[in-house]
């Protein structure tokens, strides 16, 4: 594969205060770009100063939404190493999304190497405060200047980096979730399993309305019968009922989360029964009534584990585990974050060393 060309900035930015990073507000000094041209493949990989993109107003991504993205993190360990968490899985998911969006495939291992190179250039940007990390946002956009619906012939693969603060500053806080009765996010056969901007655009209205009612996120139900549980905002969802852990099976309308996959592997390694299947919202209501619903939590790169303290559906409030974090949620959170930050031995071989 081609060597990455590097052009370094002459005007490095002043780095933000690590105690007030928030999420997605600051961007590092450089970005990675690679072009695709039909007949030539991916070419001209380069690390260049972070700057606005110059694209044609007719670029197809702006009109027809042909784009995909990813989200992952790099972590600084206490002993000065930099670790990535299962980066190949993110790049494999790029290709799953690409396939659905008619975007050409990428070389998984090469793209992981490109991301590592960019992180090495930006290593001084990786925050070191507990819980902080460097968020990595790879994305691909269709760049042909053309009006008319068809797959593009030219694309850009771009990676930007953003130092982000600890998700939980004052301990893990269970969230209140609104079970969405009207809007739907995706249907089987659609693009729900792909990480593509359209899915997020489709979710905004429900999210705004849930927030107005005092809820953090919505729990999506299936788009046909509004009966089966799908996922929560930007997280997959798990329920602990009796001695079994349940999560919706991947049927084409939800994202196959990497935290979801890791949670399942971890729970199984602990000898717990994990079942992936279609789950109705009624089952959860019934389990809550008969006292067998012990815990509910979301999984995703941003929070890792987000305990659900309350569900709201059709005028009924369903409190879960008295609004407190449950022991299993805490165990998964501590183990995954411990492995990510290098504090716990990575017996699963999930982490990759950047340097
Ligand atoms: C819609 C959706 N579901 C689930 C997830 C969780 O996926 P992951 O664990 O790979 O971050 C995300 C976040 O990427 C998401 O956007």
Query: Which pLDDT band holds residue 215 (cuts at 50, 70, 90)?
Result: very high
Look at the block and give the residue holding tokens 């893990």.
172
CA of 107 to the centre of ligand 1 (A): 22
Residues with Cβ within 6 A of ligand 1?
71, 231, 234-236, 255, 257-260, 299-301
Backbone angles phi, psi at 349, to 5 degrees: 60, 45
Q: What is the spatial distance between Cα 129 and Cα 338, in angstroms, rounded to a whole number?
A: 14
* Residue 171: predicted pLDDT: 75
Neighbours of 65 (CB within 10 A): 15
**pLDDT tier at 330 (50, 70, 90 boundaries)?**
very high
Residue nearest to atom 15 of ligand 1 (CA): 234
17 near 165, Cβ under 8 Å? Answer: no
Give the per-residue pLDDT at 321. Answer: 93
Can you tell me the mean pLDDT for 166-176?
A: 85
pLDDT of 243 strictly over 80: yes
Mean pLDDT throughout 155-165?
A: 98
Ligand 1 site-directed mutation target among 235, 252, 306, most atoms within 8 Å of CB? 235
What is the SS3 assignment for 266? helix
Average pLDDT over residues 125-145: 96
Both structure tokens of 325: 């974090």
CA 161, 51, 200, 233: dihedral to nearest 10 degrees? 30
Q: Ligand 1 centre and the CA of 32: distance in Å?
A: 23
- Find how far residue 63's CA is from the centre of its chain: 24
Rounded to an integer, the average pLDDT of 58-73 is: 98
| Pairing state between β 82-85 and 72-76 | antiparallel
Confidence check: pLDDT of 170 > 90: no
Measured CA to CA, the distance from residue 45 to residue 111 in angstroms comes to 10
pLDDT of residue 264: 98
pLDDT above 90 for 172: no
**Reduced to 3 states, what is the DSSP secondary structure of residue 107?**
coil
The whole-angstrom separation of Cα 260 and Cα 267 is: 11
pLDDT score of 168 more than 90: no
pTM above 0.95, yes or no: yes
Which residue's CA is the closest to the ligand 1 atom numbered 12? 234
Ligand 1 centroid to Cα of residue 300, in Å, is 5
Model confidence at 189, pLDDT cuts 50, 70, 90, reads very high
């Amino acid at each position: 594969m081609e060597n990455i060309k590097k052009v370094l900035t002459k005007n490095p930015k002043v780095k933000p205060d690590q105690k007030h990073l928030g999420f997605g507000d600051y961007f590092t000094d450089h970005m990675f770009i690679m072009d695709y041209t039909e007949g030539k493949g991916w070419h001209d990989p380069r690390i260049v100063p972070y700057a606005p993109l110059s694209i044609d107003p007719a670029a197809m991504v702006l009109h027809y939404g042909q784009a995909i993205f990813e989200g992952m993190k790099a972590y600084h360990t206490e002993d000065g190493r930099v670790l990535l968490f299962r980066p190949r899985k993110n790049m494999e998911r790029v290709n799953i999304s690409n396939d659905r969006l008619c975007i050409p495939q990428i070389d998984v291992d090469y793209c992981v190497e490109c991301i590592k190179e960019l992180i090495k250039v930006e290593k001084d940007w990786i925050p070191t405060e507990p819980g902080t990390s460097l968020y990595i946002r790879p994305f691909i956009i269709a760049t042909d200047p053309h009006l008319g619906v068809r797959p593009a012939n030219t694309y850009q693969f771009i990676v930007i980096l953003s130092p982000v603060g600890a998700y939980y500053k004052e301990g893990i806080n269970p969230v209140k979730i609104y079970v969405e009765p009207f809007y739907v996010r995706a249907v089987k056969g659609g693009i729900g399993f792909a990480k593509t901007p359209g899915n997020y655009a489709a979710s905004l209205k429900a999210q705004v309305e849930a927030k107005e009612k005092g809820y953090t996120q919505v729990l999506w139900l299936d788009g046909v019968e509004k009966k089966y549980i799908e996922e929560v905002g930007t997280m997959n969802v798990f329920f602990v009922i009796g001695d079994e852990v349940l999560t919706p099976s991947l049927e084409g309308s939800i994202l196959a989360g990497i935290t979801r996959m890791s949670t399942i592997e971890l729970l199984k390694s602990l000898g717990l029964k994990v079942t992936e299947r279609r789950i109705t919202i009624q089952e959860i209501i019934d389990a809550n009534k008969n006292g067998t619903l012990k815990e509910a939590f979301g999984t995703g790169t941003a929070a890792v584990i987000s305990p659900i303290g309350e569900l709201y559906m059709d005028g009924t409030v369903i409190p879960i585990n008295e609004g407190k974090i449950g022991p299993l949620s805490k165990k998964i959170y501590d183990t995954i974050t411990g492995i990510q930050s290098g504090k716990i031995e990575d017996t699963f071989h999930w982490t990759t060393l950047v340097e």
